[in-house]
């Protein structure tokens, strides 16, 4: 049953939103957080388990060093302080996908805390930077997976029983929690989305996770509350889960603002609860009431010893951090002389790293951009693969550009050459030779082709001579077709105008 | 040659390695002994006849092939049923695990197998190691070989009773607040709790993770040392295990020289509340220690009276979390799953049916002590008391080399005597608990019988962390004098068992 | 340190997922009350300047390399399970989404 919502603009005019975002990152380590079981996705059920991650009596955890290292690197990339001494804690609650019925996590001693992330959003006043305060990043473990049998949709409600697979139990997770994000005003949805996107970029840049929201290696819970004015105390918040894409983050925030506003304006209070987001219908529905707050009875994990990262180790990791993606983008925009819009296109196509790689190898930035965001993106999309999977190297692009600049190849022929590279026919020169790709540089065949085209369309010569130069396009097109694209279009046009005694 | 089952482990090991007696013969002799007397004693929950004879045969094959053997190859042993054994039932004395067969071995078990020790079976215990009498076992109590109507101590009563009744020369126990030492004291045997972290906890079902340690039980100090040396050592599967080398406990047991040592009597452990015969035997030990050239002084550890209270906050808290995994989902018995109930209901019914009342009591207590609003006053405070206890020990060890006290306030009480009064039961561990709280090593050594009831009395020896060897040196020195005085092991004074 | 009531025991039993019969609640409450009174003495100690003991072993930074070890087979993993279906642990109806 759909709940009442208020028009967004009206809601924003009446209330001040406060956001809180909790992001869980699945680390791409080889083994789980507390045992040596493999983390490879898609294995048959219960084949990547051991006494530890199965929670068998007597088993003990052994901490994955890369889990700790990743947590520190993530903390540093988010401008956090790294704890000098911290511990794990047990979060005690019962659930069938929890092998021990407690989660080994961190409670009041997170490994990273007090950080921030600057995100950029478009506002009415142009592009603005917004600083999202980060409370903490800590280490914990994932649960097993339940599948529900007997219900209509495979979801919990109405199911007769469930089946549990513990392959994912113990997968390393880093939980990143923001402080209450205030001052966003009407841009709350955009800030939320920009934050998750920026976080994703950073995590991808660090190489700690493949951060695929659709696959669950990056999960976002959205918390929202409204208050009358920025000076009022915080309102009751709701938590929304199942927010599986950037688009959902933005929509969920927007929806919750409108839902809270409708309730508050109608004199009702907000129920502190966990809600479930439905991307298909664009609404959230009520889940568990969070007010019957589970008492997790946290206490320090006695089976694991404290982690005290030396300052030397922390500085070593800090020095080896990759450049912050936003900083890098700003630098490239300046270096390449791009507009923000153009840079957005580059980033959205996922080609930034590939372009940088090409530029570093000596390819002209504009050319690298053109190929990767243009033809190669098209090809990748058509085939449903990632850009990185195309076997096109900077060397290929460099050679292509060389041949184009000397006039040996035109754009159309260059694309054919790339097709050949992708088909595995060899390097550029080999393909050009094998396929006979060459711009016709001899005027003779061009003039002959022009004569043929004019003969086929007698009227067009007059049209051109009368001043409608655009009509030349059809002649050039015919010549290009006749020469299988191997003519230099500009030269054809030149010769045509010469022939007709017309000047441009 | 006296019966094989009356021989010390070191002697048996020698007979096997020299080929004089086969390991199979040794194993069979002990299996026969178990068959004869365990109907009464009930030390064993499960006897693995086939496995034991197969292990023994494997040792004999090695002897024949001239291969190098460990110091305990071919020696039989009882394992407290709290250690996971691959392919052998492991119940922890609880109905909730009745029938569970682990798919893996505890590290201690792996080490024993690799050393050619012949595991005879799993011994009885208080359910999930909660208790000091083995009366809380879901499968019936174990009886003290000295008097069938009395408790053998707990929680590891089965392990101590099986060595005291000559069913095995060696046993493994676990000690969280005294569960190796107190049974050793009341059965006239030797038991050691190593330094925390000295023996791997991997595969040992956890009661209180920050207090539990597995340790050796035997009838004399040297045998105990041999077993200690086999099971101790760093284990990468246990993050809390010590990386430093194992102290040379065997050499210490052979040295047995305490001349010039300083020995401290802990003022707060002893005196009022301790049975008269316990105190008199203790005082005799003090005199004996002095006669051997050691200096005995009194030390005071003012935080110790609070140790029991702090322990009964920390243990239930950690246990309430450790025992949450027993829910009938992945292993163990499931109760109430008739297809209509929710998983929450089935979990709750399973646990209510599977856990005994002492376990339930401690889980509820621990849940309370950890709950929001109570953590600081209870668990948090108790962890601070632990620091005070450690500080008191550190101050004492700045003045002396080892500390001594009676192991337990009383000798073995009658079965049923303290069952209705949990607090009275808890008091059995008043002298042993501080040792676990500080993570130190402790031994119980038999020092005689209490005159009023002719039941064994134990002396507790405590050493600084990682100085387990001191226990063996001091214990062996005292033992040598006492053996001379008694004309043999104290167990020679125990009544003959009916079935024997 | 106030006394423990039957309602308290019932609440704690729910948290601990143990279905204690109603008629036993009072008995547990009484015993627990006695025990709590006895352990309450810890609060009388002066611990103002004392840090809680973290671990009895004074070590830190115990890590394991990120190298795969030995896992159980599905058969071993499921060997103790009360109910199995499709190589998974079969459990009764879960009511609440986590």
Range B167-180 average pLDDT:
98
A145-149 sheet: strands from edge to edge: A145-149, A161-165, C88-92, C84-85
Q: Do the strands B170-175 and B76-80 form a parallel or antiparallel pair, or are they unpaired?
A: parallel
CA dist., res. B221 & res. B475, Å (int)? 7
CA dist., res. A54 & res. B327, Å (int)? 13
The total number of residues shown for chain A amounts to 504
Nearest to A96 among C64, C80, C91 (CB): C91
Contact C66 A54 (CB under 8 A): no
Chains that touch A (3 or more CB pairs under 8 A): B, C
Q: Which of residues 134-163 of A touch B (CB under 8 A)?
A: 160-162
Q: Is B297 exposed, middle or buried (0-12, 13-18, 19+ CB in 10 A)?
A: exposed
- pLDDT tens, B82-94? 999 999 999 999 9
∠ CA A455-A457-A462, rounded to 5°: 95
Strand ranges (E), B257-349? 262-266, 295-299
Provide the pLDDT for residue A353: 80
- Residue C10 within any structural domain of the chain: yes
Q: Which of residues 53-82 of A touch B (CB under 8 A)?
A: 54-63
Which segments of chain A have a pLDDT < 50?
291-292
Residue B339 forms contact with A (CB below 8 Å): yes
- Residue C62 within any structural domain of the chain: no
Contact A87 C72 (CB under 8 A): no
Two tokens at A331? 């630098």
Contact A85 C60 (CB under 8 A): yes
∠ CA A480-A481-A482, rounded to 5°: 95
Give all domains of chain B, ordered by start, each with its CATH number.
Answer: 4-261+441-493 (3.90.1300.10)
Nearest to A161 among C62, C91, C96 (CB): C91
Give the CA distances from residue A273 to residues A237, A296, A470, in Å, rounded to whole numbers and listed in that order.
8, 17, 65
Provide the pLDDT for residue A153: 66
CA dist., res. B456 & res. B152, Å (int)? 11
Residue C53 forms contact with A (CB below 8 Å): no
Two tokens at A204? 């991808």
- pLDDT tens, B21-34? 999 999 999 999 99
Two tokens at A324? 């912050």
Q: Which of C8, C10, C17 is most worth mutating to test chain B (most B CB atoms within 10 A of its CB)?
A: C17
Contact A58 B324 (CB under 8 A): no
A288 touches A92 (CB < 8 A)? no
- pLDDT tens, B422-446? 888 899 999 999 999 999 999 999 9
Nearest CA in chain B to C70: B104
CA dist., res. B184 & res. A190, Å (int)? 70
Contact C88 A85 (CB under 8 A): no
Provide the pLDDT for residue B248: 98
**Among residues B319, A30, B359, A14, which one has the least CA distance to residue C64?**
A30
Nearest to C41 among B309, B328, B339 (CB): B309
Chains that touch C (3 or more CB pairs under 8 A): A, B
Q: Which of A163, A171, A207, A284 is most worth mutating to test chain C (most C CB atoms within 10 A of its CB)?
A: A163
- pLDDT tens, B231-258? 999 999 999 999 999 999 999 999 999 9
Residue C90 forms contact with A (CB below 8 Å): yes
Two tokens at A387? 């850009």
B406 touches B270 (CB < 8 A)? yes
Give all domains of chain A, ordered by start, each with its CATH number.
Answer: 8-297 (no CATH), 443-500 (1.10.10)
- Would you tell me how many other CB atoms lie within 10 Å of the CB of residue B214? 28
- Residue C29 within any structural domain of the chain: yes
Residue C44 forms contact with A (CB below 8 Å): no
CA dist., res. B291 & res. A303, Å (int)? 44
In sequence order, the 6+-apart residues with CB closer than 8 A to the CB of B326 are A57, B94, B96, B97, B332, B350, B351, B354, B355
Q: How far does chain C reach from its first CA to its final CA, in angstroms?
A: 34
Provide the pLDDT for residue B42: 98
Provide the pLDDT for residue C2: 56
pLDDT at C1 over 60: no
Nearest CA in chain C to A89: C54
Strand ranges (E), B23-179? 44-47, 76-80, 118-123, 170-175
Nearest CA in chain A to B204: A58
Two tokens at A15? 């209330």
Backbone CA torsion sign across B231, B237, B241, B244: positive
Is this prediction's pTM over 0.95?
no
Contact C42 B310 (CB under 8 A): yes
Exposure string for C12-32, b = 16+ CB within 10 A, e = fewer = bbebbbbbbeeeebeebbebb
Nearest CA in chain A to C72: A50
Phi, psi angle pair for B127, to nearest 5°: -55, 125
- Residue C88 within any structural domain of the chain: no
- pLDDT tens, B245-298? 999 999 999 999 999 999 999 999 988 889 999 999 999 999 999 999 999 999
Continuous H helices in C16-82: 22-39, 74-78
CA distance C96 to chain B (A): 10
Which helix (H) or strand (E) segment holds residue B406: the answer is strand B402-406
Provide the pLDDT for residue A343: 84
Number of domains in chain C: 1
- Residue C20 within any structural domain of the chain: yes
Give the CA distances from residue B340 to residues A83, B137, C89, C91, in Å, rounded to whole numbers and listed in that order.
49, 32, 17, 12
- Using only the alpha carbons of chain B, give its radius of gyration: 21
Range B132-151 average pLDDT:
97
Share of chain B above pLDDT 90, in %: 95
Range B391-400 average pLDDT:
98
Residues of C in contact with A45 (CB under 8 A): 74, 86-88
Q: Which of B69-73, B333-337, B370-374 has the lowest mean pLDDT?
A: B370-374
Q: Do the strands A81-82 and B402-406 form a parallel or antiparallel pair, or are they unpaired?
A: unpaired
Provide the pLDDT for residue A233: 94
Average pLDDT score over chain B: 96
Provide the pLDDT for residue A442: 76
CA dist., res. A341 & res. B113, Å (int)? 70
Provide the pLDDT for residue A341: 81
Nearest to B439 among C15, C21, C56 (CB): C56
Nearest to A62 among B97, B106, B239 (CB): B239
- pLDDT tens, C26-48? 999 999 999 988 888 888 888 88
B266 touches B405 (CB < 8 A)? yes
Catalytic center residues of B: 80, 155, 179
Q: Do the strands A299-300 and A145-149 form a parallel or antiparallel pair, or are they unpaired?
A: unpaired
pLDDT at B327 over 50: yes
Which helix (H) or strand (E) segment holds residue B265: the answer is strand B262-266
Two tokens at B378? 């209870």
In sequence order, the 6+-apart residues with CB closer than 8 A to the CB of A109 are A83, A85, A86, A87, A89, A300
**Among residues A351, A411, A405, which one has the least CA distance to residue A380?**
A351
Phi, psi angle pair for B75, to nearest 5°: -90, 130
CA dist., res. B391 & res. B396, Å (int)? 9
CA dist., res. A77 & res. B369, Å (int)? 39
Strand partners, C88: C85
CA dist., res. B359 & res. A223, Å (int)? 40
CA dist., res. A330 & res. A245, Å (int)? 25
Chains that touch B (3 or more CB pairs under 8 A): A, C
**Among residues B84, B66, B72, which one has the least CA distance to residue B117?**
B72
């Amino acid at each position: 049953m759909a709940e009442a919502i208020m028009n967004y603009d009206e809601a924003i005019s009446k209330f001040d939103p406060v956001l809180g975002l909790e992001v869980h990152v699945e680390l791409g380590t080889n083994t789980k957080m507390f045992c040596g079981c493999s983390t490879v996705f898609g294995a048959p059920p219960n084949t990547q388990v051991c006494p530890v991650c199965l929670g068998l009596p007597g088993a003990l955890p052994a901490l994955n060093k890369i889990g700790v290292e990743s947590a520190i690197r993530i903390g540093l990339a988010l401008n956090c302080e790294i704890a000098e001494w911290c511990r794990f804690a047990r979060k005690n609650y019962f659930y069938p996908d929890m092998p021990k019925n407690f989660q080994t996590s961190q409670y009041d001693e997170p490994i990273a805390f007090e950080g921030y992330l600057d995100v950029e959003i478009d506002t009415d006043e142009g592009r603005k930077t917004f600083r999202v305060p980060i409370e903490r990043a800590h280490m914990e473990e994932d649960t097993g997976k339940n599948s529900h049998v007997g219900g209509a949709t495979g979801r919990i409600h109405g199911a007769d029983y469930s089946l549990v697979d513990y392959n994912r139990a113990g997968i390393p997770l880093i939980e990143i929690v923001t402080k209450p994000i205030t001052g966003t005003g009407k841009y709350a949805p955009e800030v939320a989305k920009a934050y998750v996107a920026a976080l994703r970029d950073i995590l991808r840049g660090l190489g700690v996770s493949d951060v695929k929201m659709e696959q669950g290696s990056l999960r976002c819970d959205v918390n929202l509350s409204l208050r009358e004015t920025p000076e009022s105390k915080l309102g009751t918040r709701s938590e929304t889960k199942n927010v599986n894409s950037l688009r959902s983050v933005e929509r969920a925030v927007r929806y919750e603002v409108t839902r809270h506003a409708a309730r508050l304006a109608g004199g009702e209070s907000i129920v502190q609860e966990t809600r479930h987001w439905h991307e298909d219908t664009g609404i959230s529905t009520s889940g568990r009431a969070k007010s019957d707050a589970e008492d997790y009875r946290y206490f320090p994990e006695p089976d694991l010893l404290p982690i005290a990262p030396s300052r030397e180790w922390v500085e070593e990791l800090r020095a080896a951090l990759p450049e912050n993606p936003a900083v890098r983008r700003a630098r490239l925009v300046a270096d390449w002389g791009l507009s923000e819009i153009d840079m957005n296109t580059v980033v959205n196509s996922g080609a930034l790293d590939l372009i940088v790689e090409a530029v570093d190898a000596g390819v002209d930035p504009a050319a690298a951009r053109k190929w990767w965001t243009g033809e190669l993106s098209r090809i990748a999309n058509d085939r449903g693969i990632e850009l990185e999977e195309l076997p096109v190297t900077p060397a290929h692009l460099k050679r292509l550009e060389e041949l184009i600049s000397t006039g040996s190849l035109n754009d159309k022929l260059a694309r054919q050459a790339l097709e050949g590279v992708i088909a595995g026919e060899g390097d550029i020169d080999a393909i050009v030779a094998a396929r006979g790709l060459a711009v016709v540089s001899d005027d003779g065949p061009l003039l002959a082709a022009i004569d043929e085209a004019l003969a086929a369309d007698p009227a067009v010569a007059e049209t051109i001579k009368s001043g409608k130069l655009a009509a030349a396009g059809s002649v050039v097109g015919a010549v290009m077709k006749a020469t299988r694209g191997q003519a230099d279009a500009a030269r054809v046009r030149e010769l045509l105008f010469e022939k007709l005694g017309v000047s441009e | 040659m006296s019966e094989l089952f009356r021989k010390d482990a070191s002697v048996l090991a020698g007979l096997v390695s020299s080929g004089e007696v086969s390991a199979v013969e040794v194993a069979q002799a002990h299996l026969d002994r178990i068959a004869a007397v365990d109907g009464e004693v009930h030390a064993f929950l499960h006897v693995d006849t086939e496995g034991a004879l197969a292990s023994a045969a494997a040792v004999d094959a090695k002897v024949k092939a001239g291969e190098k053997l460990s110091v305990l190859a071919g020696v039989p042993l009882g394992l407290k049923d709290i250690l996971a054994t691959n392919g052998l039932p492991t119940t922890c004395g609880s109905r909730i695990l009745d029938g569970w067969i682990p798919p893996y071995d505890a590290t201690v078990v792996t080490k024993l197998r690799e050393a050619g020790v012949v595991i005879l079976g799993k011994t009885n215990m208080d359910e999930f190691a909660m208790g000091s009498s083995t009366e809380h076992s879901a499968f019936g109590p174990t009886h003290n070989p000295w008097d069938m109507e009395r408790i053998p101590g707990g929680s590891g009563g089965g392990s101590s009773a099986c060595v005291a009744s000559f069913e095995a020369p060696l046993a493994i126990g676990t000690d969280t607040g005294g569960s190796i030492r107190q049974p050793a004291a009341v059965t006239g045997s030797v038991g050691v709790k190593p330094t925390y972290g000295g023996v791997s906890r991997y595969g040992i079902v956890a009661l209180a993770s920050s207090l539990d340690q597995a340790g050796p039980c035997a009838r004399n100090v040297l045998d105990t040392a041999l077993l200690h040396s086999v099971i101790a050592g760093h284990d990468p599967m246990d993050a809390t295990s010590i990386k430093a080398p194992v102290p040379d406990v065997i050499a210490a047991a052979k040295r047995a020289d305490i001349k010039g040592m300083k020995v401290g009597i802990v003022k707060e452990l002893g005196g009022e509340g301790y049975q008269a015969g316990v105190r008199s035997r203790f005082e005799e030990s003090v005199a004996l220690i002095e006669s051997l050239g050691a200096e005995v002084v009194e030390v005071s550890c003012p935080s110790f009276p609070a140790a029991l209270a702090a322990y009964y906050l920390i243990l239930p808290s950690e246990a309430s979390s450790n025992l949450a995994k027993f829910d009938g989902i992945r292993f163990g018995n499931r109760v109430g799953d008739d297809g209509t109930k929710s998983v929450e209901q089935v979990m709750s019914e399973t646990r209510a049916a599977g856990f005994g009342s002492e376990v339930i009591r401690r889980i509820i207590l621990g849940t309370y002590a950890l709950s929001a609003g109570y953590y600081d006053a209870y668990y948090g405070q108790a962890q601070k008391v632990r620091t005070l206890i450690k500080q008191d020990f550190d101050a004492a060890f700045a003045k002396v080399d080892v500390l001594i006290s009676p192991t337990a306030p009383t000798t073995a009480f009658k079965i049923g005597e303290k069952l209705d009064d949990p607090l009275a039961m808890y008091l059995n561990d008043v002298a042993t608990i501080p040792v676990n709280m500080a993570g130190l090593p402790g031994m119980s050594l038999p020092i005689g019988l209490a005159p009023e009831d002719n039941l064994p009395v134990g002396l507790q020896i405590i050493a600084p962390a990682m100085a387990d060897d001191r226990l063996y040196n001091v214990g062996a020195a005292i033992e040598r004098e006492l053996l001379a005085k008694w004309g043999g092991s104290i167990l020679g004074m125990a009544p003959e068992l009916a079935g024997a | 340190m106030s006394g423990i009531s039957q309602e308290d025991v019932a609440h704690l039993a729910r948290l601990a997922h143990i279905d204690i019969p109603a008629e036993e609640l009072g008995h547990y409450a009484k015993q627990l009350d006695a025990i709590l009174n006895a352990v309450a003495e810890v609060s009388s100690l002066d611990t103002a300047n004392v840090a809680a003991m973290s671990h009895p072993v004074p070590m830190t930074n115990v890590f394991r390399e990120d190298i795969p070890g030995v896992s159980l087979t599905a058969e071993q993993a499921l060997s103790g399970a009360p109910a199995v279906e499709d190589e998974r642990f079969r459990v009764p109806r879960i009511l609440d989404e986590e």
